[in-house]
Structure 1
Amino acid sequence: MRAGDGDRQQVADQLKAALDEGRLDLSEYDERVQRAYGAKTYGDLDGLLDDLPGTVPVTKSQVMPAAAPEPPTAHGSVHKKAKHQGKSGGVQGMAFVFVICVFVWLMGGAGYFWPGWVLIPLAFAVMAHFKDRGNRGH
């Protein structure tokens, strides 16, 4: 298995600690650090820390298994409810933005009704909200 930068750095840090403790002389430290930074696989890192006390050799794999999905609760009703509340909140938020835009438009002396452009995404959001009503499973 190929070693990563973090694996090489971990070994180099442990070698530096051993040098600071006087367990390695400078030439031995230099040789081992060069081998550590030149390592391509975990096998290349093996043996660099074996004779040093208190060091743990690099693990063979840093790959973690994917987390198991959460079990559904009561037919997933809690998740669906939260999901649809978020959509409703999005429509309400967009409507609030539209109201603010209209207020700014009125304060600016009216004229061209540019807040109408905000209605386009709001209309799509409202249509999606009502289209999805039948799929909620209430």
Structure 2
Amino acid sequence: MGHEGMRAGDSDRQKVADQLKAALDEGRLDLSEYDDRVQRAYAARTYGDLDGLLDDLPGTIPVEKSQVVPHEGVSGPVEKPASKHQGRSGFPGMLAVFVVCTLVWAMSSLGSGELQYFWPGWVLIPVVFAFFAQFGKRRH
């Protein structure tokens, strides 16, 4: 018996349905076509029944049918290059946002002729946390 004649399991059907949902979300399938394919996926009894449901969608070709050969030179996980912002504190930017908010509050208070509620105080809370986070990094 070939692979196409083997019984598909619930996880196989769910995997195909998840890939079809991703294709719908990306706009590769319209709702009618998605509905038809999902019904066929959940009704599939064998791998042969599942074949063809994903063939015309990018990134969903089974490995055995793929024309891309995996690279043999990499052993272990590939590390991402360090970001240029890695290890930086957000304190200066957050402080700038607080200053801008305070200026807006001051101009609106001057414009109304009376002292308004100091709402930039709420913006100050994360600024204080960022300050202490930056201070704690420098001590170590």
TM-score range, shorter chain: 0.3 to 0.5
- TM-score normalised according to structure 1 size: 0.45
Task: Specify the structure having the higher radius of gyration (Cα).
Answer: 1
Higher fraction of helix: 1
- TM-score normalised according to structure 2 size: 0.45
